[in-house]
Amino acid sequence: MKIVAIIQARMGSTRLPGKMMMDLAGAPVIHRVFERVKLSRFIDEVWLATTVNPEDDILAEWAAENGVLHYRGSENDVLDRYYQTAILAKADAVVRITGDCPLQDYQVIDNVIGDYLESGDSFDYVCNTQPPTYPDGLDTEVFSFLILEKAWQEAKLESEREHVTPYIWKHTELFKIKNITHTENLSDQRWTLDTKEDVDFIRLIVEECKKQDKYCGLAKIMQILSEHPEWCSINAQYQRNEGYAKSVEND
């Protein structure tokens, strides 16, 4: 089985334009995401799925310069972008990661993939988001290419095309779904990148990890935050999944 991680990213964020190339302790955000995901022991290839927009040329150039496999497709039909990338990659299973998660933890990713692999045919889709108990920014979803193809063929709503997997997890009568939960509910933690305050928060974490010269996974970051609890208030005013909520309104 070929397992392919597809990381969606673009420069045209509404609230934080250009965020993918912002510097995090000496490397752009997109580089930080890839270097963490590539540590997975299950993932065979990691692809960038970006758009054909000229403003995303810089992401395609970064990918080419760094030997990163990539596909350029629709800006708004991200489901199609994923599907076309998966076809190019000849993926049997897809791991969905978003580019605005520079604190991703490969061990969390591997927990979700490992559960998917162990389940055999028992589950079509395994995630840690339905409902979330991990910090916002460690979201991981794993599903077969055949399930992705079914969603691509049948999903019609804007929210189902722009956010890739809602058609799957909304239709429990069609798909066998499993959710991985953390021992402690950490869903109030915001480690994603969508605002200037998010940048300020994540830079503190990345710089602290660099200072300690250690890989910072979930446990290590929680330890750092226990020593600096005031950091959590920097971006605490923002709600989880605001982009998806907006898409649902547009449906």
**CA 234, CA 38: separation in Å to the nearest integer?**
29
Q: What is the pLDDT of residue 246?
A: 63
Beta bridge partners of 127: 141, 179
Band the pLDDT of 14: cuts 50, 70, 90: confident
Question: Residue ranges per domain, the chain?
Answer: 3-250
Q: What is the pLDDT of residue 214?
A: 80
What are the tokens at 122? 């028992």
Q: What is the pLDDT of residue 251?
A: 72
Dihedral pair phi/psi, residue 115, rounded to 5°: -65, -40
Q: What is the pLDDT of residue 85?
A: 98
pLDDT at residue 212 tops 60: yes
Determine whether domain 3-250 maps to CATH 3.40.50.620.
Answer: no
Q: What is the pLDDT of residue 74?
A: 97
Task: Identify the sign of the CA torsion 38, 88, 12, 244.
Answer: negative
- How do residues 59-92 score in pLDDT, each as one tens digit? 999 999 999 999 999 999 999 999 999 999 999 9
**CA 119, CA 96: separation in Å to the nearest integer?**
18
Band the pLDDT of 141: cuts 50, 70, 90: very high
